[in-house]
Each structure stands twice: as structure tokens, then as C-alpha cells.
Structure 1
Amino acid sequence: MAAPKKRETRKSMKQPAWITLEGGFAVRHCLVQDISTAGAKLTLQDAAALPATIRLAFARDARTGRLCQVVWRRGASVGVKFIGK
């Protein structure tokens, strides 16, 4: 039997950030609740309307940030995993 998967250590942040959709359009403000090397927990209005892939940045510049895949949604919160630069 495989060993249980160990969860990455998360750092609490509560820092403002921006989500960019489809090539730099539709910038949305969010709050990064916590972050690890593998992903982050975000809160934002209308979290259910996010597509499966987004870009998360700490500056409002669409060319910066990390490409993310949404892996779960609960109310105003979403969990993302980092999938690229």
C-alpha cells in the first residue's frame, strides 16, 4: 500500500491579488488566504463562475503571475494548483 500523500505546508497570507482570464482579459480582484509551493486558497465574489484555468498575480499586470487550475470550489472560496509560469 502506498504511503499517504503529505500535504504541502501552507503559509497564511490574506493578501490582495488579481485573477486574469483568457489571455489578459477580465481581471478580477481576489484575496489569497493561504499559499504553498503547490497551490493556494483564494476568496472572491462569484467564485463559481471562474473557468477551470486562470492566472493568479500579485500585481494587476496580465503578463505576470502563475497559471493555475481550479481544483475545488466552496462558496466564495476556490482552491487552485499551480500548473505553470
Structure 2
Amino acid sequence: MKQYCPLIVVGLGILFSVAGFLYAGFVGGIPGPDDSPAEAAHVSLHNMIGFGAVCVGVLSFLGGMVAGVIRLFSRKKHS
């Protein structure tokens, strides 16, 4: 199981990125031209939540890739 940790982190990163993008698109959406300030703030809040999920996903993806590369090169050095 330990050998698959970087791959799992990469997969979770992709999942978070896609989920955040879809959440921002469907729940946040684009504010209408006649929205009240409260509705605009509500849309902005949900767009920030979606952006946060995308950022977490990208960072997880990059962290998993770096961990996989480090693990790959550290194995070859010891073998």
C-alpha cells in the first residue's frame, strides 16, 4: 500500500480539481446583471469555495508527482 501513496495523492488531486471546477460552475455560477448585493456575495462565496478546492487539488497533484519522482530516484540509487 505504501508504494501506491503518491499515485493515490495524484488521483485525489485530480478528483479535487474536477470537483472544485464543477462546484464553482454549477453552484457558484456567474452572477446575473440584476443580482442584489446579497446574491452577488453568495455567488462569490461559492466561487471562492470552488477555487479553494481546485487549489487543493492542484497542490495535491503536484505533491504526489514530486513524491513519486523522489521515490523513483531513491529506489534506483539504493538498488
TM-score over 0.5 for the pair: no
Q: Which protein has the bigger helix share?
A: 2
Q: Which has the higher strand share?
A: 1
TM-score, normalisation: structure 1 = 0.23
TM-score (normalizing by structure 2): 0.24
Q: Which one has a bigger Cα radius of gyration? A: 2
